Amino acid sequence: MKAARYYGATDIRIDHDAPEPIPGPRQLLVDVAWSGICGSDLHFWTIGPSPDRTLGLPSTLGHELCGTVRDPPVWSKFKHGDKVMVDPRICCRGCQACKDGTSAACSDLGYLGGTTEYGGFGERVVVKESELYLLPENIPLEYAAIIEPLAVVQHAIKVSGVKEWKGRDVLVLGGGPIGFALLLVLKAAGADRVIVSEPAAVRREQVKSLSKGVINPIEESVEKKCLELTDGRGAEVVFDCAGVPAGLESAFDAIRFNGLYVMIAVWEKPVSIPCMKFLAKHITMKGAYIFDDDSMGEVLDMMATGKLTGYEKMVTSHIGIDDIVDKGFKELIANKDSHIKILVSPT
């Protein structure tokens, strides 16, 4: 089997004889069609494996993936060739978190392409049947891999607890892949007063059509510009997709009294919270990590019914597996701001 195998920092090699994944109980074999390069994959490429990683090297990365079912057993509800989206989370389904439907908090959480030897940057994977979603005919396979990051932001929107988005002043920090995905799903939810704070000019241009206004936090005061764009009200809800200390500070400046701050970004280092602003403004803080058991299906439904549109714009490049280093990882390092999502085909 052909796969791009991860050996360590800046070391990914094309292997034509990678181990074939073998289906276990209730698992199906899936031929990978496309897999997205995620920020966590990029972190492994630049920094190296996590210190707590127990899986040996080499392994195959890639957890944002879609594909087709190969030769399913007679008990399966799927047919050979069915187009599917993969939920990459590996959960025990027995702990309290899993029973509550919050399996992102599973006591034994893993994920395909991270805690498994195989992943989306290989020709085949094995997945529990329960973690596969049949793709509606009107969702092209070449864009289906982005459903995973869209599920992440759908989950964050639900975590906020806000039911009606029309007429609410929303500030999004960061216009990268997660920020862009959030803007698409917020639009589908009815949000019509969304402001984006993003330092990169290319990304500000990318999100301009999805927002009421954009802010350059390097040259402008996020607080003052946000007040200007909201007629003095300030932001009612802030989604942090940036994960930088300056962004957190600006969020607490721009947010109004009784405002809500939702953290989606993964932070690499501990950060201090401006506690007096948090106290004085009665700010509510929430965190949203990965996604729950319903979010991926909800995104699929929104895409299939036409409620969620423009998702094709998230994909800025399709490449083959042989080019994954030069046109994938190195390209994202050199021209990060020009890309939202690069999808890789293992064939």
Q: What is the tens place of the pLDDT at every residue in 105-160?
A: 998 999 999 889 999 999 999 999 999 999 999 999 999 999 999 999 999 999 99
Looking at the predicted structure, is the pLDDT value of residue 280 above 90? yes
Higher pLDDT, 98 or 342: 342
Average pLDDT over residues 276-303: 96
Nearest C-alpha neighbor of 180 from the set 202, 207, 213, 149:
207
Domain limits, CATH 3.90.180.10, in the chain: 3-145+310-345
Sorted by sequence, the CB contacts under 8 Å of residue 118 that are 6+ apart come out as: 3, 18, 19, 21, 59, 60, 112, 124, 125, 126
CATH domain 3-145+310-345 topology: Quinone Oxidoreductase; Chain A, domain 1 (3.90.180)
* Confidence band, pLDDT 50/70/90 cuts, at residue 269: confident
- List phi, psi (to 5°) of 228: -65, -45
Average pLDDT over residues 15-34: 97
CATH domain 151-287 topology: Rossmann fold (3.40.50)
Domain limits, CATH 3.40.50.720, in the chain: 151-287
Are the C-beta atoms of 115 and 40 separated by less than 8 Å? no
pLDDT score recorded for residue 118: 95
Token pair for residue 317? 């490049």
Average pLDDT over residues 249-268: 95
Question: Using alpha carbons only, how large is the chain's radius of gyration in Å?
Answer: 20
Q: Which of 110-114, 223-227, 271-275 is the most confident on average?
A: 223-227
Average pLDDT over residues 267-273: 89
Q: Is the dihedral of CA 111, 113, 118, 121 positive or negative?
A: positive
Token pair for residue 43? 């972190």
29 to each of 33, 118, 306, how far by Cα in Å?
13, 12, 30
Nearest C-alpha neighbor of 184 from the set 303, 84, 286, 34:
303
Collapse the DSSP code of 67 into the 3-class scheme (helix H, G, I; strand E, B; otherwise coil) and give the result.
strand
pLDDT score recorded for residue 52: 63
